[in-house]
Chain A
Amino acid sequence: MVLKAFFPTCCTSADSGLLVGRWVPEQSSAVVLAVVHFPFIPIQVKELLAQVQQASRVSLAVLGTWCHRQQESEESLGHFLEGLGAIFSHEPWLQLCRERGSKFWSCKATHQQRPGTPGVSSEDHVMLIFYDQRKVLLSHLHSPTVLPDCQAGDATASAEGLAAIFDTVSRSEVLFCKNQFDEGPVRLSHWQSEGVEASILVELAKQASGPVCLLVACLLSLVSASGSCRLWKLWPLPFIASKLSTCEQLRHRLEHLTLVFSTQKAQSPAQLMRKANMLVSMLLDVALGLTLLSWLHSSNRIGQLANALIPMADATGLWPFVSAPARACVHWACLGLELVPLSSLLVLMLILTAHPSNNNNTTAASPHVAEELQHLLQWLMGAPAGLKMNRALDQVLGRFFLYHIHLWISYIHLMSPFIERILWHVGLSACLGLTVALSILSDILALLTFHIYCFYVYGARLYCLKICGLSSLWRLFRGKKWNVLRQRVDSCSYDLDQLFIGTLLFTILVFLLPTTALYYLVFTLLRLLVVTVQGLIHLLVDLINSLPLYSLGLRLCRPYRLAAGVKFHVLEHEAGRPLRLLMQINPLPYSSVVHTYRLPSSGCHPKHSWGSLCRKLFFGELIYPWKQRGDKQD
């Protein structure tokens, strides 16, 4: 196998001396870590190596000699260097030499005492690979993305190949801590940090971080203790808390804080990175929240906004203008031709409700939504879009929903003075972060559209019942029945009476279906719109929560810190001389940075595919908020 010598670039101009490093026999590669300069006493060199070896658990050894011919007169040095092989025995013994005038190097590797053939020295092919010691030391090698599917194998393979070289360099950090200017017994040449004392501020921050962490951890434990007090375990509270996205978000943030300020040290670089990411995302979040707060409070913008919105929401003149197209749109939707205008219009309607909600103006708008719904219902109770409905059922359904709206309006009226004040104080919570503010916005939206949710549930239940009935009666016609035990359709012979009753029921259901379906369709569209808006807000919150900003910044400013692998450049070559390669660090692509370091998000997303969503909608099964995070049930 070709012998590979990894040589640090910082040592290329060092004086002649001994090569110190590690020999990796499996790959026949020699990782040179430093050069020991003349003069030295062999015993001291060995002592030093033993010290470093104990501290770093890397088997260091003298690998060979390094000869930098600056003057012609050092010709005699060559013989001396060859003699050194006898003192520090190593197999194979490397002899690196840099000529003065030329850019080319010579390199020899000799096996001296071979078992079986004593005294005969043989030579191998040698390949010189230069590496930047600092970058390799600081970089964190990620398991190659070429093999994403076998994570189990990577754990065992971590000590193989190039990872071994990275490992060696990073573990022998102790060696590099020795300062060049220290008057030690042995003079070394290797990469030097710019000095620890350069940044006093950093040192101070490091010193201060310990007590700060302790303090914050104490505070947090107090908060979490109060959170786990028994009062909160009373029946309705946990249920409500699990449904409010604000609570979820607060809990999530609390977890982050406890993790960041925990007094334990991070074990692995990945954990450290995670902590940093959390801290940065939290800081950004709070900064954004404060910006929002200051923007809202500066020069009484809230008041202005409210003043601007109250007439808009109150303007009764606006409503006929809005509602006429709304009806036209529902008309189109009924005919199954177009969905877009309806939704765009409903977005407008909801913007009118959502905005005031953040600005103490809920009471003005909510009755308007309700009023608008009343109009919609009255329109449905007539002959919507020219469809002829079953009059009796239509009236029953319409009255039922109208009564519900009536209830809702009275509820809003009852709540209105309190809601205003609560919202004002809740609005201050933006200083806890933009995500909290957004979650509150989402909750308020859910609260204000609760009647829409109720309508949707009623409509869906009714529709589902009809669909189920129709499908089982259709099976009855074909002489089949659903076998519950075996989960399959069996054939079955029915009596005449059964068939007659079945036919009767089937006819009734079929003729009543369009009326129910229309109500279902309209309320489902309204509900879907609310869900979409909420989903968008949650997406934004999740984005802020989970984006690994620190890692991305690191990748931007110090690309070598996150290494995906290495790349080689072939340096200028002359026949007969050893091949020289330059090893550089291949940074991780941004996409995999995000993928690797993404923080876990708090939201429990509904796991629907589009197909299953459509299927559920068609069969009238309840979508999104039923099983998972639901709407306010208070």
Chain B
Amino acid sequence: MAYRGGGGHVKPPSALCSSVNSGKFSTCTALSHNICMVSDFFYPNMGGVESHIYQLSQCLIQRGHKVIIVTHAYRDRKGIRYLTNGLKVYYLPLKVMYNQSTATTLFHSLPLLRYIFVRERVTIVHSHSSFSSMAHDALFHAKTMGLHTVFTDHSLFGFADVSSVLTNKLLTVSLCDTNHIICVSYTSKENTVLRAALKPEIVSVIPNAVDPTDFTPDPFRRHDSITIVVVSRLVYRKGTDLLCGIIPELCQKYQNLNFIIGGEGPKRIILEEVRERYQLHDRVRLLGALEHKDVRDVLVQGHIFLNTSLTEAFCMAIVEAASCGLQVVSTKVGGIPEVLPESLIVLCEPSVKSLCEGLEKAIFQLKSGTLPTPENIHNIVKTFYTWKNVARRTEKVYELVLKEDVLSVDKRLDRLISHCGSVTGHIFALLAVLNYLFLIVLRWITPDSVIDVAIDATGPRGAWTHHCPHSEKRGENEKVSKTR
């Protein structure tokens, strides 16, 4: 980032409270942390994890912490970027292997991550999503470097098939010496505790949130005929195959029923085939990939929101839909029953028959007018989940974590061997030792003293949270980050 002339950012931390721009979040924290969020999934990729990281970071910045995000490069988006309020994002040039997740060798990312952790003076490394190999890598390296670690699990897993068994083993290794784990729902906590064989005390539940101001109802944009909206990625996990069974059955039964389907994915082709086979081109609209800002405009066009997920830890989509005033019909899997109260949701078994029944019930309620108005639903939902609340609870987790000690190398090895089974434990203990040796080599090649301390954009001494001494403030987004 451009250096702002003048010593504006060497103000003492006590100046923080007065300088936070709006009075809304003037809660002066006693302690501010340097937090590094690591995940493979971040914008421009779209999804629940991505928006969770972004919103949480924004709220933490407003509470006076310094937050940076580390992810991998998305095509030409590489290098260092600044988002709103000086949220700094490192897009590291690592190779993407499968499903936007980076290839892992457990070692190759250490030099860059260590450089970032040192130059940003990171105290807490917060990894997201168990699908992200970069998150696990970062946890591993952070533990080697003696930093505090937090992990948020966003998804549920099975126990039966081979891939689950392997992932669960990896998760066990990765989480056994992590300081604290956050899950998004109680089902998810149960699942994670079982999978990773953890002590339940170090697992907290902090649900996701929705920005209710982004999802407001607009009854005038509803169609006259009953419209069912589906917004999800069109993949197996989201139950697109169920959707293919539902569409023809309901369309035959109700003549004035329309479907709007937003999202893209490998299963789109079967939806198109269904549409062609039953000649439903005028009643089933496929919108393709949606930008996050367009989701609300799609949601308000419908009356009923349908979620057909086969597994879900915490379904953000149904909260968003309910916040827009839609009646939600969903499968009863994972953490979904915890999310909304009975009155706002119709829960079904994950089968075509049960889902059809649920939808018919919702249509009947709609026709008979027994449903609450969209405004009412919105007013109820908007009190449930807010990012401020999430940030406050996450902050508490951070404070808890900082009080704990990071395991020293020998204790960490003991933990690995005792906790993860003899074979895996020994292998990963060896890897941890190798990683530690690699770190020592790196420290010898470029000592910490040679690494420039980054100029903070956020946090107590952030250049962005303070008023710039110069009157002309150049838009920081103009600065082109370039990777050579």
Contacts and interface: CB of A to CB of B under 8 A. Distances in A.
Q: Do chains A and B touch in the complex (CB under 8 A)?
A: yes
Interface of A: 488-491
Nearest to A492: B273
A629 B25 CA distance: 73
Contacts of A490: 269, 273
B226 to A, nearest CB: 29
Interface in B134-180: none
A513 B269 CA distance: 32
6 contacts: A488-B269, A489-B269, A490-B269, A490-B273, A491-B270, A491-B273
Contacts of B270: 491
Nearest to A488: B269
Q: Which 4 A-B pairs have the closest CB atoms?
A: A491-B273, A490-B273, A488-B269, A491-B270
B452 to A, nearest CB: 28
Interface residues of B, number: 3
A277 to B, nearest CB: 35
Contacts of B269: 488-490
Contacts of A488: 269
Contacts of A491: 270, 273
A213 B273 CA distance: 72
A491 B269 CA distance: 9
B279 to A, nearest CB: 16
Contact residues of B: prevailing secondary structure: helix
A491 B270 CA distance: 8
Contacts, number: 6
Interface in B254-301: 269-270, 273
A494 to B, nearest CB: 16
A488 B273 CA distance: 11
A490 B269 CA distance: 8
A491 B271 CA distance: 12
Contacts of A489: 269
Contacts of B273: 490-491
B76 to A, nearest CB: 15
A433 B89 CA distance: 61
A493 to B, nearest CB: 11
B234 to A, nearest CB: 15
A488 B269 CA distance: 9
A546 to B, nearest CB: 32
A490 B270 CA distance: 8
A438 B269 CA distance: 55
B350 to A, nearest CB: 23
B330 to A, nearest CB: 28
A58 B86 CA distance: 53
Nearest to A491: B273
B227 to A, nearest CB: 27
A491 B276 CA distance: 12
A504 B54 CA distance: 57
A488 B268 CA distance: 12
A491 to B, nearest CB: 6
B31 to A, nearest CB: 49
Nearest to B270: A491
B271 to A, nearest CB: 12
B325 to A, nearest CB: 37
A504 B48 CA distance: 49
A310 B8 CA distance: 89
A488 B270 CA distance: 12
A489 B270 CA distance: 10
A172 to B, nearest CB: 42
B365 to A, nearest CB: 36
A234 B269 CA distance: 53
A419 B269 CA distance: 62
B295 to A, nearest CB: 27
A624 B269 CA distance: 36
B203 to A, nearest CB: 43
A488 B272 CA distance: 11
A405 B269 CA distance: 51
B248 to A, nearest CB: 15
Interface in B372-428: none
A491 B273 CA distance: 8
A490 B274 CA distance: 11
A19 B269 CA distance: 80
A244 B270 CA distance: 52
A478 to B, nearest CB: 13
A223 to B, nearest CB: 53
A475 to B, nearest CB: 14
A479 to B, nearest CB: 12
B315 to A, nearest CB: 29
A417 B273 CA distance: 68
Interface string B425-453: 00000000000000000000000000000
A489 B269 CA distance: 9
A405 B183 CA distance: 75
Nearest to B269: A488
B288 to A, nearest CB: 15
A490 B275 CA distance: 13
B277 to A, nearest CB: 10
B281 to A, nearest CB: 14
B480 to A, nearest CB: 15
A521 B270 CA distance: 39
B173 to A, nearest CB: 38
A491 B272 CA distance: 11
A38 to B, nearest CB: 53
Nearest to A489: B269
A77 B104 CA distance: 83
A490 B273 CA distance: 8
A226 to B, nearest CB: 56
A415 B471 CA distance: 89
A464 to B, nearest CB: 27
A212 to B, nearest CB: 54
B48 to A, nearest CB: 30
